[in-house]
Structures are given as C-alpha cells and as structure tokens.
Structure 1
Amino acid sequence: MAEDGVLIGRSDSPSSPGPQSLRLDRANRHGLVAGATGTGKTVTLQVLAQGFSDAGVPVFAADVKGDLSGLAAAAQPNEKLLARAEGLGVTLQPSAAPVIFWDLFGQQGHPIRATVSEMGPLLLSRLLELNDVQEGVLNVVFRAADEEGLLLLDLKDLQAALTYAADNAKQLSSRYGNVAPATVGAVQRKLLVLENQGGANLFGEPALDLSDLMRTDAAGRGYVSLLSGDRLIGSPQLYATFLLWLMSELFEQLPEIGDPEKPRLVFFFDEAHLLFKDAPKALLDKVEQVVRLIRSKGVGIYFITQNPADVPDTVLGQLGNRIQHGLRAYTPADQRGLRAAAASFRTNPAFDTGEAIQALGVGEALVSVLDEKGAPTMVEQTKVRPPNSRIGPVTPDERRQLTAASPVRGLYDQLQDRASAFETLKARAEQKAAPAEPAPAAAPGRAPPRARPSQGEQMVGAFATSMLRSIGTQVGRQLIRGVLGGLMGAASSSSRRRR
C-alpha cells in the first residue's frame, strides 16, 4: 500500500512518471476495472482488494473463477515476479490477506442467505423473470402476507402464500384487483424452476448480518469476504439479483457519514454486465440512485466488466476511479465500445487514448483516479504491480482449513427453520379440516351459549386481530424492502396503470 492510498502500479510516461495510487479518501467515489479476457483484470482486482485490506478497509467480492481465493495465501515469488517488482520500484512482501469464504450453496464457504421478505417482490420478480401481470400478483401476495402476519422466510413459505392466494383469489381480487389462479400457478411454476437451479439455498435463516462483511482482524486489516461464484455464475439472474440485493441492503441499513478518510467497505461487482442486461428502466433508475447516494454511507462500489459500454451512461458517470486494460476492436460493435472507453478518460496529450488501449499488454492498464480535489487525473499508461498474495487459487484443503478458522464459524452453517407462513397456513388448514365438536347443552338457569359468529364476522374479526398483531412486523418488513422493494413495487404498479 502507498502512503496516500492503494498502490496500483507505476507509470513511465514522460508527462508524469512515478507511482499510480488510488486515494483512500476518494475510494468511496466508486470505480471501474475493464478489459478483455486475459488482459489482467483479476490480478488488478487482487491488488486493489489486498491494498484496501491492508489499509483497514473490509472488502466484498464475488470470486467468479476461483482465482481471487489466492488472496488468502502468501505469494510465492519467482524470477519473473521479482524482476517485475524491481522494475516498478516495488518491494514484494509475500503476505496473505484475512479472508472469509462464502458460498450460496454452502460447499466452498459459509452459507449466505436472505429471507424472502427482505428480498421483496421487485427483486424476486426480476429473479423469476415475471411479466407485469405476474409481478402484480406477487405484490398482492406480499401485501396479503403482511396483513395476515405471515412470515415469508424461505421458498416454501412463498409457495404456501401463493397457494393461499389461489384459494382465496375472489376475496383478494375484491380488495386488490384481479388475482387469477392461473397467474398464481404460472408464478409457482417459475418458483419451481428457481428451486431446481439451487435458488432455495439463497432463502432462509439465519440471514446475513451486514456487520459480518465489515470485520477487521486483530492487526486492523479489513477482512476480504469472497463469495464463491464459479457455480453461481451458471445462474446469471440469481447471481446478479443477489448482489443487487446486497448492494441495496448496504444502502438502506448503513447510516450517513459523508466522505470518510477511508471507506467503511469496498464492494466489487464482477461480471457487471449481468446486472444491467435486460433490466427494466425503473430498476436501472434505482440502481443509479443507489450508486449515486451510497458513497455518503462510506461504501465504494467497483464494477468489473469487459467493456465500459456494458455499464449504462447514467451509472458510468458516477464512477470516478478507472482502470482500463486492453480492448480488441475486431467488430463494429467493438470499435464503438473502444471509442466510448477512450472518450471516458481525461485526455493525455502525450498519446492517443484509443490507440493506447489496443496496444496495452497483459498487466498494463490506463489509469485515471480522483485527486485530492475530487477531479479525475490525466490518464496514464501504467504497469500494474504484482500482488503480495498468491496469483492463482488456494487448494481445497487450504480453503477448508481457512473456513474452519473463520471468525463467523458456526454462525451461519446450521439452517434454522422456525414457524413461519408455511407452518401457520398448514395449521390453519388442519384446524379447518378437523370435525367440529358438538356444542354443550346449556345448564339450567344460565343463558344459552352464544351463537357462533357468521363467516363474514369471523373474517372481520380475524382481519382486525391480524392487523393488530402484525402492524409492527408489517412496518418493519416494508421498511426493510425499502428502495428496491416496496417503493419499486409501487413504481412498477403505477407504470402498469399508465400503460
């Protein structure tokens, strides 16, 4: 780590030779690491992650190929690495970063979960690829569950709530608009597809506590939380939706702190194009809002992708720190992306940015970061420094040993299944199916037993009791869904009404 920030590498440019570093007090202004496959993005990400960790900044990153796990082991210097470090004026100090491994499937790290209620109807609709009508029904199901005091924790709870909606479609339709059993069935089928893809592992308890992503070790180094993504990336919608949920949770739960001396957390979003692919405009608007405002909560978001054109302009404009590896312009689309990448940098009169991007070798990049005034520096050709940690993955045995010694060991490994919507609705169904007991005869001199209330009276009474019982949890769940939950559900409903 450089004294004033994270050392990226060194520029030999005549205009501004010397080290290129990312300032810690500007690291929450977000960033972009782009470049074609095989140009060195992973090593650059490793250098940044370990640099932030050494500075006491916790890091979260998805390890799509498994290579980032090398952060957990010290580098094994060879002649090539030592020569590169010497040529850049860098002293290679082999060391490992403190790492916590997470895995949605619980195989290569600690399980990581969210509840269905926390995820909210908007993100679930995107995850399930629902159309407008199906999304509207899902919003009704969430509203009815809130009013009935039904906890939606895992997918079997959501399936039970959908069955309840189908069975009571007439009553729900009179209150919220048309709820067709056929539409409910279509949502249930898509939910089954998600379960078959392993999506059930995402939902349940214990849910992730964000404070466990913001830990530091005894030496003051930030923990690097690595989400195993080699299997998860096989379900792109699940991958992108989970990371988007996590980003929105950070935005909603963390307090405002302005511009800190260093970030509270740095969030690396690899394969960022999956987040924006086919996303509706309403969702893109909210992503832009989160990216724009989350910096004041001390969180830096760094998108990693092949081409800057993969990121919408409204979001790209919020990314102040940029590292561009080589691009190849073989097709007209590639050429347009190259021109867009070159135009996004502050021009350096010493070279043509577009030509330089095409001529970059492996481990070289164009770098422009924010200076002490928050203005982007002139773009410089930079050779990226070698990391102090291992280039390449850790072994399965090393991963198991590190997971066994993890500071969160035992907190998430055992799935909990407390009483929630599934159990509540099952108990109601069993109670309804039980034979009614005969009414006792009235004793002499006593008033006859009170007549059983009508079905309508029962519904009114149950509704009132349910409302009183669930008002606290209802408000809590609706607030949790916040920006990408309830608010977006309302926005999408209003957009459907306009159509």
Structure 2
Amino acid sequence: MLKDGKIYIGTSRKPDDTVNKGEYLDLKYANRHGLVTGATGTGKTVTLQILAEGFSNAGVPVFCADVKGDLSGIAAIGERKDFLEKRAATIGLDPYDLQEFPVIFWDLFGEKGHRVRTTISEMGPLLLSRLMDATDAQEGVVNIAFKIADEGGLPLLDLKDLRSMLTYMSEHSDELSRVYGNISKQSVAAIQRDLLVLEQQGAENFFGEPALKISDIMRTTNDGRGAISVLAADKLMMNPRLYATFLLWLLSELFEQLPEVGDPDKPRLVFFFDEAHLLFDSAPRILLDRVEQVVRLIRSKGVGVFFVTQNPLDVPDSVLSQLGNRVQHALRAYTPREQKAVKVAAETFRPNPDFDSFETITQLGVGEALVSTLESKGVPSIVERTLVRPPSSRLGPLTDPERQKVMAVSPVADQYDEDIDRESAHEILTERAEQAAKEEEEQRRAEEEEDREIDESRRWTLPGFGGDDDDDERERSGRRKSTTRRKSSRRRSSNRQTVTEAVIKSAARTAATTISRALVRGILGSLKKGF
C-alpha cells in the first residue's frame, strides 16, 4: 500500500493498545539503508515480504534471498485467512487487497530458479581469498595468479581455469618468483586443496558463464512494477561462506557498475541481505572495510541495502551507524549477551516518552515491532510500537509446479540455464603444455636419429687406413659438438615457448637483458686481466 511516495508498514499503538497512526517508509530515504532484526519466529520474513511488495508496487526492483523457502509465496496471490483478516481490521487496513507480484527465481544450483553465476575474474582475488579462508601468503599467491593471467591473456572463468593457472605457477615457480615475488609450492598446494573443498561444496556451479548481468535484477514490468528477484538459499545455506561471499560480490558489482545518481525520489534497486551475520563472522579487517565502503557509498548509486538478522550485535558498529530505517521485532533477554543485544537495539532508537524501548522489545508479540524510519531531512522518527500489516501475496511457499510455471514465463528464461565453456586459461595452458610435450618428443626423436647416424659412422670408419685417423676423429668430434649445440638451442627454444612466451613478457626480457650485460662485462673484465 502506497501513500504519497511512502510504503505502509503497519499501524502503531498507544500504551493502552488503542490504534495510534500509520507507520510508513519514505521512498526518498530508502537508499539510506535499513535493518530488520528479531529472534526466530517473530515475523522478520513477513516484514521483508511486505517491504518487497511495497517497493515492487512503487516500481522499485528488489533482490532478496529466500533462506527457508517461505518467501517464494510472494509470486502467488494471497489467501484470505482469519488471522490475517483480523490483523487487517485491527490496524484499519481497508480495503485489504490481495495480489501476486512479478518474481524471477534464481538458484546457484539451477534447481529452484535460473542459474546465477559469475566468473573467477569478476569475483576478484580479495573475495576469492575470503571464500577459501586463505592465509596472507596464500592470498598473495592468488593475487599473483590474477596478475599473471591478465598479462598472459589467460581468462579465468571457472574453477578449472584457476586450478590450471596454479599448476602452471607451481611448475614454473622459480622463473615466476624472480619477476612476481615468492611463489611457494606449499601455498599453491594449500590453495588447490581449498579449491577441491569448494568444488565439493557446490562452488563449481557458481563460477562460469554466462555470468549474471546486473541489468537482469533491475527489471520493471510493463505495468510499471519492479521485478522481485528471489534467490533460493535453503541449499546454499549449507555453505554459509559461499552464500555471504556471493551476496557481497553482488553488492560490489552494483557499486562498481552503476552510475552516480545522488538522492533520487525512489531507489533504483533495494537489496535485502538475509542472515547478515554470516557476512561479518570472522571476516578480516580488509573485508569489513570493503563492506563499510560499499554500504556508505552505494546509496549515491540509488541502491538501498537492508540487513536482516537476529541480533543487532551481528552488524559492526561502522555499518550499523549507516542504517537509518529500523524494524525491531522481539528479542529474548535471558543471558548477559542477549541483554546486551536488547540494550544496543533500544539505544539505537529515538526515544518515545510513552514507553521504555528496552522493556518493550522483550514484550513484543509475533508480527509486532518497534519501527523508526527516516523523515524530513533524513531525521529518524520517534520509535513506535507497531502492528505490522499482513502481506498481500501468499504467506508461505509455492509448490514445485507453481514455481516451474513462474520460471517458464520469466523474462530471463533460457538465458542462463545452459553452460557456456569457451576457450580460457585451462584450454590455453593445456594446449601449450601439449605443444611443448610434442616438441620435446620431436627433439628426442631427432637426437636419437643423430645418435644412430654417429654410431653408424663409427661402425664404418676403419682406423689406420689411408692415414686419416686423426681427420676421422676430428670429424666425429665436430659432429658431436654440433649435435650438442643443436640440443642446447632446442632446449632454449622450448623453454621460451613454455614459460617466457606464456606470461613473463617485458619484465622477463628486461631481467634477461640485465643479466646478459652483467655476464658480458664480467667476461670482458676477466679477459682484460688475462692480458
């Protein structure tokens, strides 16, 4: 339900339980981000659902993760149930309209939605290292791998490309270390093991082509509503690090690709990050800095980010301070940590003289929340105890046939469901290795043939006849020296093709020139001393 560019959240109540006034989220300040918190079963998912409905009706595309499968019902028209009708009557929601919403289902595994993937190159070394929980030394090796790939024209698209690159680096670690810094074979081996673990956890489904286009999660329909992209995350949650890294990658892509728009009348996209604590758990400082930077600056791109989590303590203070719109469901306060969480949540609100926020948070019922949103000039409103409105779409999951029907008419149907495996680092390095092996085999055969010719020559040369023994010996000696020179020349040629030509370009040539000059000066210096 929209009113003057605002999304209706619910109706607040006075301490005597009488209806007070409607609580709204102003679209103009929706890109100032938000936070939805509360214990399990208090109504966070329904709040996310009604916010997504409101943004969609306002023409704002939405991206959200469906952790438990319940959010898929937003694609179906709601059902009139007694408790929903009662809530609508209590808060004065008349008429209580039901509707379905335009939804695009996504799934990293391609089971409950269209395949969503990105390439290793687009993920970047920082997030990839985070995904593998790499040490500093291993992260350095990953950075070198990306550098070598860029300089050598070796696209890193999927996991096999990265594995091939790491194998190449290990085989040529001595030469590459002289140019790019130390490349420890132990670190390479550890990264290879981590990649194997990721592959077994399903990460191979995430890396590859066709990569997700940001424009496909920013669609609007012909009637002006924003499309709601729902990521199936129930299976993905079995690998929470992959889940958090994927969503952070998506945020980073939005930040890097979208142009500056300042403060628009409504967001260009709203991004809901459910189970947000997974993003910050054990995250290194450099990653936290990245998250803080994205959250702080992405609002000028017209993107609003809403974190959904159980506990406000799950979000670092540097990020929490940037979340202007707050919906706080009930929290329990039995342990010291829970009491601290309630205190933190209560202190973040603009106080209401009618009630104590600390006590109220522990007394809220299901579907009830403390709400404070940004008002004129971006100032937080006084916190209000609010009954959240019932959703217009279905409360609960879709059936599998219903989901398949939605996917069949999706605007991205058939665009992402087939894998594309074009030539990349794996194929290029494999081809080079095969070519090097072929040349080495040809060299070996040529050497064997020359050895046979020498042996044959020796067999038919009879010493002592014609007085040419010394000449024959000099001829054989000269032939052996010539063969040795040819072998050495072929080895150098092979090395150039398999190592230098692949990735070590100008830096290697510069180093080789410097060493050659030093050797020449050393030789000339020794000759002078001899004379």
User: Could you tell me the TM-score, scaled by structure 1's length?
Assistant: 0.89
2:24 counterpart residue number: 21
Alpha-carbon separation, structure 1, partners of 2:374 and 2:145? 46
2:405 alignment partner AA: Q
1:60-209 alignment, distance < 5 Å: 60-90=63-93, 91-209=95-213
1:272-351 alignment, distance < 5 Å: 272-351=276-355
User: Structure 1 pair 459/75, CA: closer, same or farther in 2 (3 Å)?
Assistant: closer
1:462 aligns with 2:501: yes
2:437 alignment partner AA: A
2:12 counterpart residue number: 11
1:322-373 deviation line (CA, Å, top 9, x unaligned): 0000000010010111101100000111100000100100000000000021
1:404 aligns with 2:408: yes
SS at match of 2:100: coil
2:478 counterpart residue number: none
1:177 alignment partner AA: G
1:241 counterpart residue number: 245
Alpha-carbon separation, structure 2, partners of 1:77 and 1:227? 26
1:44-90 deviation line (CA, Å, top 9, x unaligned): 00000011001100000000000000100011012221121111111
Alpha-carbon separation, structure 2, partners of 1:244 and 1:322? 21
User: Structure 1 pair 460/36, CA: closer, same or farther in 2 (3 Å)?
Assistant: closer
Asked whether the 8 Å contact 1:149–1:467 carries over to 2, the reply is no
Asked whether the 8 Å contact 1:148–1:467 carries over to 2, the reply is no
1:47 counterpart residue number: 50
SS at match of 2:193: helix
Measure how far apart 1:143 and its partner are: 0.9
1:70 alignment partner AA: G
Alpha-carbon separation, structure 2, partners of 1:408 and 1:466? 42
Measure how far apart 1:453 and its partner are: 9.6
SS at match of 2:442: coil
Measure how far apart 1:12 and its partner are: 2.1
Asked whether the 8 Å contact 1:75–1:390 carries over to 2, the reply is yes
1:436 aligns with 2:437: no
1:245 alignment partner AA: W
Unpaired stretches in structure 1, ≥5 consecutive residues: 440-448, 469-499
SS at match of 2:501: helix
2:483 counterpart residue number: none
Measure how far apart 1:209 and its partner are: 0.2
Alpha-carbon separation, structure 2, partners of 1:452 and 1:194? 41
1:474 counterpart residue number: none
Alpha-carbon separation, structure 2, partners of 1:191 and 1:297? 34
Percent same amino acid at aligned positions? 59
1:2 counterpart residue number: 2
Q: Which moved more, 1:168-177 or 1:392-401?
A: 168-177
1:493 counterpart residue number: none
Alpha-carbon separation, structure 2, partners of 1:459 and 1:113? 32
Asked whether the 8 Å contact 1:85–1:385 carries over to 2, the reply is yes
Asked whether the 8 Å contact 1:347–1:378 carries over to 2, the reply is yes
User: Structure 1 pair 205/339, CA: closer, same or farther in 2 (3 Å)?
Assistant: same
1:267 counterpart residue number: 271
1:251 aligns with 2:255: yes
Alpha-carbon separation, structure 2, partners of 1:403 and 1:162? 38
Measure how far apart 1:458 and its partner are: 5.6
Measure how far apart 1:457 and its partner are: 6.2
Select 2:35's aligned residue among 32, 35, 38: 32
Asked whether the 8 Å contact 2:436–2:498 carries over to 1, the reply is no
Measure how far apart 1:100 and its partner are: 0.3
1:462 alignment partner AA: E
Select 1:392's aligned residue among 391, 396, 410: 396
SS at match of 1:319: coil
Alpha-carbon separation, structure 1, partners of 2:329 and 2:12? 14
SS at match of 1:373: helix
User: Structure 1 pair 12/464, CA: closer, same or farther in 2 (3 Å)?
Assistant: closer
SS at match of 2:426: helix
1:466-489 deviation line (CA, Å, top 9, x unaligned): 679xxxxxxxxxxxxxxxxxxxxx
Asked whether the 8 Å contact 2:331–2:362 carries over to 1, the reply is yes
2:221 counterpart residue number: 217
Alpha-carbon separation, structure 1, partners of 2:335 and 2:243? 29
Alpha-carbon separation, structure 1, partners of 2:420 and 2:286? 35
1:149-200 deviation line (CA, Å, top 9, x unaligned): 1100000000000100100110111112211112111110110000000110
Asked whether the 8 Å contact 2:148–2:503 carries over to 1, the reply is no
SS at match of 1:10: strand
1:224 alignment partner AA: I
User: Structure 1 pair 399/463, CA: closer, same or farther in 2 (3 Å)?
Assistant: closer
1:81 alignment partner AA: L
SS at match of 1:433: helix
1:472 counterpart residue number: none
SS at match of 1:412: coil
SS at match of 1:383: strand
Alpha-carbon separation, structure 2, partners of 1:101 and 1:184? 37
RMSD of aligned Cα (Å):
2.0
Asked whether the 8 Å contact 2:152–2:503 carries over to 1, the reply is no
User: Structure 1 pair 424/200, CA: closer, same or farther in 2 (3 Å)?
Assistant: same
Q: Which has the higher helix share?
A: 2
Measure how far apart 1:13 and its partner are: 2.5
2:359 counterpart residue number: 355
Measure how far apart 1:137 and its partner are: 1.0
2:118 alignment partner AA: A
2:387 counterpart residue number: 383
- Max Rg structure: 2
